[in-house]
Amino acid sequence: MAGLKGALIGCGFFAINQMHAWKDVKGADIVVICDRDPERLKIVGDQFGIERRYTDAATMFGDGGFDFVDIATTVQSHRALVEMAAAHKTPAICQKPFAKTLNDAKSMVAVCAQAGVPLMVHENFRWQTPIQVVKAILQSGAIGEPFWGRFSFRSGYDVFSGQPYLAEGARFIIEDLGIHTLDIARFILGDVTSLTARTKRVNPKIKGEDVATILLDHENGATSIVDVSYASKPAVEPFPETLIELDGTKGTLRLSQGYRIEVNGPDGIAVSDASPQLLPWASRPWHNIQESVLAIQQHWTDRLADGGETTTSGADNLKTFALVEAAYESATSGRAVDIGAML
């Protein structure tokens, strides 16, 4: 089969990782790029040798010549661009956060379903090697049925120099980073029925919250905590590692800093290393995220080729996005939020 041809919209900070990963994906290539900023368009076009370049997405869709679109812009443009893709019957990947509101996200899923086009959210954190290893160990039954979990991301890393917009929004850590951690909690322990959250802003130089503590009730009866912070100052900076603790009926699993996994089960203690690969184009400490970008883009390409549903489809991501909205609602009201009622 000839390879799939892709278009990428948004040639900013993170798109560089996506473009590198597309070079490594088997079965797809990016043949067209678009950015409303001519300078970014030139930088990415020259770096990756892409001749077809547009500053306007509508013109690019009108000219066509590609099988799917990878939307790597910030959230403000996601709904309009996904709707444009649906109108042109073009399968679409959309970066997280999927939308500005849950209602927007629902409309985006509906418009793609009506057009009959696949839609995947670029929710890559569950594709990280250590997270996949934790899931596989849990599925093997090594710790029995999980009844408690903690998904933790606490850092003092300066994310604002690469992504200045993160300092400017009224919402910060839950919308940008907690969205990944909540998705990991769903991936590992299943869907959520109710949620309670507390937030704080510690850094006076930013607008939004930089600390959040979230309590989740899962459908399977497990309870978990998602705690995220960009205001912490650990002795050894763990960015961008998600640490996991799981207690099950037969044992415990710990994913600790340095990608170390320790399982204590009926057969004793087993320690292993779940470090991600350092891909040739990757750089520490981002290599864990960068490897997951390649994994999710390969997944998209394989599912587009065989007609299967992606694991982070738009429809699936509504259940993660609802947790984000619920966390803000709970932090404001002080009350638990029923997730089922939101979907």
CB < 8 Å & 24+ apart, contacts of 71-76: 71/9, 71/10, 71/95, 72/8, 72/9, 72/10, 72/11, 72/12, 72/14, 72/15, 72/18, 72/122, 73/9, 73/10, 73/12, 74/10, 74/12, 74/165, 75/99, 75/100, 76/100
What mask, x for binding ligand NAD by CB under 6 A, covers residues 90 to 129? Answer: -----xx-------------------------x-x-----
**Of 107, 129, 132, 163, which lies in the binding site for ligand 89V, with binding defined by CB under 6 A?**
163
Q: How many residues bind ligand 89V (CB under 6 A)?
A: 7
Site map 44..83 versus ligand NAD, x via CB under 6 A = -------------x--------------xxxx-x------
User: Which of positions 225-254 make contact with ligand NAD (CB under 6 A)?
Assistant: none
CB nearer ligand NAD, residue 124 or residue 181: 124
In the complex with ligand 89V, the residue whose CB is nearer, 184 or 337, is: 184
Q: Which one, 38 or 65, has the nearer CB to ligand NAD?
A: 38
Pairing of strands 119-122, 146-154: unpaired
Residue nearest ligand NAD (C-beta atom):
12
Smaller CB separation from ligand NAD, 9 or 102? 9
Residue 159 binding: pick among ligand NAD, ligand 89V, none (C-beta 5-8 Å cut-off by kind): ligand 89V
Q: Which amino acid is at 125?
A: F
Q: Which residue has the tokens 């100052």?
A: 233
Q: Does 176 engage in binding with ligand 89V (CB under 6 A)?
A: yes
Give min distance, CB of 89 to ligand 89V, in A: 29
Q: What is the total residue count of the chain?
A: 343
Closest by CA to 320, choosing from 112, 120, 90, is 120
Residue span binding ligand NAD (CB under 6 A) among the ranges 7-15, 21-29, 256-264, 268-276: 7-15
Q: Which does 177 bind (CB under 5 to 8 A by kind): ligand NAD, ligand 89V, none?
A: ligand 89V
Considering only CA atoms, which of 317, 291, 342, 20 is closest in space to residue 180? 317
Residues binding ligand NAD (CB under 6 A): 9-15, 34-37, 40, 57, 72-75, 77, 95-96, 122, 124, 163, 176, 289
Residues binding ligand 89V (CB under 6 A): 159, 163, 176-177, 180, 240, 289
